[in-house]
Structure 1
């Protein structure tokens, strides 16, 4: 019998105060939520370059991991592209664990206690998310933001898929998109002379010589401590939680200085300054894809010279859907009924690879994971074209751009690199090991889609590397266990077509 963890008990007690009608359902969802997080953790233990794992032995009945301290972990074979919760128990020597937080604590690796707390929060919050969602419907929503609310489980491969430390149960219910709230945004007035502003800033967000910067209510309460915030307009939270769709279409990306999954969600001053240049450049580049890709335009961006007080106004992806079409995040594809054809996934894969590799060849690596990348579907569910949003983490290669006669934008910093490995990791790790794998749901399904689509994608050296080399993916758990190392760390997953490592 599983003993409820302190975080599970705490969230349960808070839920009894906020929504007593959900307590029984929350309790019923806890075992499945633990298994979902444990499955993601086991994937990391099986495939990431963790220095505490010295050997991996694949046998007829499962996988054994030999640890540097002499202990051993035992569990099922780990498909790095599977999205189902197929791991319910892992053994550390002879002790069985069904709780990812307890397993991580007992592994005792450096920084394991912090990760264990996040995993416990992830499982409890995931149970809360599933409890609040209910059965749901697989019919197509009428509004673009409704697609976002259907992604209940969060990141398909990150053990911290629903970790929201710093959020009470009441705040998760009030702000989490899967709970379908309407969130009242606030504004903070700042003298215009103290702000960095790029693009157009609407009159409704001006007050004489001051700019009114939209603020998420969680940020106003916990970071800005009130700070003169006043009510503004209400919006529907999208998958990222900090970005909201206003009723008349524009999306508002707010600063939210909380650690969600792995990252603290503020908005850097650099990204505000680069927003319009990147938006204009990306729109021009998308025109080279023969109509297969659109990039949502940044309308305006402002910051009060602080990553904790900034906002970006962006057009809705819905602008690129014709009557009868639907545009939805790739992460939401698994939540709806699509044509039951073995060729659907291959056709979607062909479309995504054609666009992603075309831009990579030109000199731009998109971070095309299931949240940033959206697909436009016809009335019958056929994938027609793609929409990309949020340019903050793309990578630009001046050498590749120049080779194609394209003038690179005047940018500096981490977004600019000619390193072939960095460029390929950015695209392949997000698009193939992320969006396509999450949609396919397993290694064999992903391999079938890649094999069918590859012959219809224009050949480039990048395509050859994708089809033959190990597949890069962010080592998300290693990164959480190595906070002293800045930047991304990577795992080399077996190529689903060749098994290469």
Structure 2
């Protein structure tokens, strides 16, 4: 057999062995996957504060980036909120690159080698995701089925489909876009940390059982396990919806997927029920416009690699008898609803009303397209929101105090009174993330924002929304391993077209 020098060819070699029926479709999907990842990377180069880019110069046919070493990069124009692919080549001093990994390698910048490998893997996995889609599929009727329609992963992250450590067989078996059923395994815990009510099916006599993702059991854990129930993987891959319509199970997966290693910290388990109850109480002040998918129980074997949480299904907050249905915001483009400017304005108004109200009360949600879901009427009108996964919210004691709300005992890492940090958390996830990817372009986002903000209370937070929009500098974060935590950039605001200095 010939060598497999890149992730693209390595995946092709594996595919020829485990699923040869997909090999031709994979090869056909590669050019589009390369362009999709390159488009995401070019957006990052155009807008993130990367230290080796000296300046940016718009041209008639696109954009030129001047590097600190004197080289020039030329590519197409960049709408920072667009989700369509438009970069098939980026030119560096006269030489064109169609593959993101090769472009980063050619740049020769610090930490570029590791990032290039990620991009190579992202491209290959994205092609596999697209190749594995059925030609015909029934209309989804559950939120988990809708989110399995999110084939391309994160709309703006170049590592949108990077799954290092997952073989082709494992991607097909566990990736939600491939629509598998995953059988959880159960591990007994002798002396664990348990909070909340642990379901009856997760007990072995007096010992609680941790539901474990099979990838985690095979690659990280040792020791005996029991077969558990089957479930549908959600967008995060490590969270699954039980096939019997029961609650969702969040498991630990100690692999880097997109940006983060998906384990579950001991502090998250310790405070899970407190945070859930607290945010639910604050959400009660939104006149029913926001519901929280509550955490029901959390268990850790005193290890982030062996822990799990059980939480309500978002369907809990939709009236199925009345024809209501639930869609994760990341899957809204698949519904076709956002093509209507009136619908997009109504959804934007609902999301901003809820997000700004909670921010004023003292809770900044990380309301990106994966955490935020919308309950829709039988005709598709947005009725209310559901929020899940509370691990990365921020809580402001000062703002809570202004409204007479008692500060809960939560982990210090989510507590801040810094106005910039609070607004970054909400605006970066909701506006530059969820709303932008739903709109699909800057002009569409700007029009929806302009129409929606007219009806919102005039607050200092709303005024701040008219400035440059914060967004996570996802590529800078991946290329700055010495700087843990979130790094940020500022994007031109489509609401007022504020120039970014």
TM-score above 0.5, yes or no: yes
CA contact (8 A) 2:65 2:73 kept: yes
Q: Kindly indicate whether residue 191 of structure 2 is the aligned counterpart of residue 201 of structure 1.
A: no
Displacement after TM superposition at 1:398 (Å): 0.4
Displacement after TM superposition at 1:456 (Å): 1.1
Q: Which residue of 2 aligns with 1:162?
A: 161
Q: Which residue of 1 aligns with 2:411?
A: 412
Alignment of 1:233-382 (within 5 A): 233-246=229-242, 247-323=244-320, 324-338=323-337, 341-382=340-381
Runs of 4+ aligned structure 1 residues displaced above 4 Å come to: none
Measure, in 1, the Cα distance between the counterparts of 2:57 and 2:347. 35
Q: Which residue of 1 aligns with 2:31?
A: 31
Secondary structure of residue in 1 paired with 2:166: coil
Q: Kindly indicate whether residue 442 of structure 2 is the aligned counterpart of residue 446 of structure 1.
A: no
Q: Give the number of aligned pairs.
A: 493
Measure, in 2, the Cα distance between the counterparts of 1:452 and 1:383. 16
Secondary structure of residue in 2 paired with 1:369: coil
CA contact (8 A) 1:339 1:381 kept: no
User: Once the two structures are superposed, what CA deviation does each residue of 1:335-359 show, in whole Å capped at 9, x if it has no partner?
Assistant: 1232753211011000000000000
Measure, in 2, the Cα distance between the counterparts of 1:189 and 1:341. 51
Measure, in 1, the Cα distance between the counterparts of 2:129 and 2:143. 20
**Relative to structure 1, is the Cα distance of residues 50 and 372 closer, same or farther in structure 2, using a 3 angstrom cutoff?**
same
Q: Which residue of 1 aligns with 2:472?
A: 474
Displacement after TM superposition at 1:499 (Å): 2.3
User: Once the two structures are superposed, what CA deviation does each residue of 1:381-424 show, in whole Å capped at 9, x if it has no partner?
Assistant: 11111000000000000000010010011123210000000000
Displacement after TM superposition at 1:143 (Å): 2.3
**Relative to structure 1, is the Cα distance of residues 126 and 340 closer, same or farther in structure 2, using a 3 angstrom cutoff?**
closer
CA contact (8 A) 1:5 1:120 kept: no
Measure, in 2, the Cα distance between the counterparts of 1:59 and 1:9. 36
- 1:485 counterpart (474, 483, 486): 483
Q: Which residue of 1 aligns with 2:130?
A: 130
- Superposed CA RMSD in Å reads 1.1
Secondary structure of residue in 2 paired with 1:133: coil
CA contact (8 A) 1:140 1:336 kept: no
Secondary structure of residue in 1 paired with 2:465: helix
CA contact (8 A) 1:366 1:426 kept: yes
Measure, in 1, the Cα distance between the counterparts of 2:360 and 2:338. 32
TM-score normalised over the length of structure 2 = 0.97
- 2:495 counterpart (471, 494, 497): 497
Displacement after TM superposition at 1:190 (Å): 1.2
Measure, in 2, the Cα distance between the counterparts of 1:318 and 1:203. 21
Measure, in 2, the Cα distance between the counterparts of 1:380 and 1:408. 40
Measure, in 2, the Cα distance between the counterparts of 1:392 and 1:369. 13
**Relative to structure 1, is the Cα distance of residues 436 and 339 closer, same or farther in structure 2, using a 3 angstrom cutoff?**
closer
Measure, in 2, the Cα distance between the counterparts of 1:241 and 1:447. 32
Secondary structure of residue in 1 paired with 2:392: coil
Q: Which residue of 2 aligns with 1:75?
A: 75
Q: Which residue of 2 aligns with 1:16?
A: 16
Measure, in 1, the Cα distance between the counterparts of 2:130 and 2:330. 16
Measure, in 2, the Cα distance between the counterparts of 1:61 and 1:337. 31
Measure, in 2, the Cα distance between the counterparts of 1:286 and 1:379. 24
Q: Which residue of 2 aligns with 1:403?
A: 402
CA contact (8 A) 1:57 1:64 kept: yes
Measure, in 2, the Cα distance between the counterparts of 1:64 and 1:435. 29
Measure, in 1, the Cα distance between the counterparts of 2:461 and 2:69. 40
TM-score normalised over the length of structure 1 = 0.97
User: Once the two structures are superposed, what CA deviation does each residue of 1:188-220 show, in whole Å capped at 9, x if it has no partner?
Assistant: 1111xx211100012221123321100000000
Alignment of 1:212-223 (within 5 A): 212-223=209-220
Secondary structure of residue in 2 paired with 1:66: strand
Q: Which residue of 2 aligns with 1:211?
A: 208
Q: Which residue of 2 aligns with 1:58?
A: 58
Unaligned runs of 5+ in 1: none
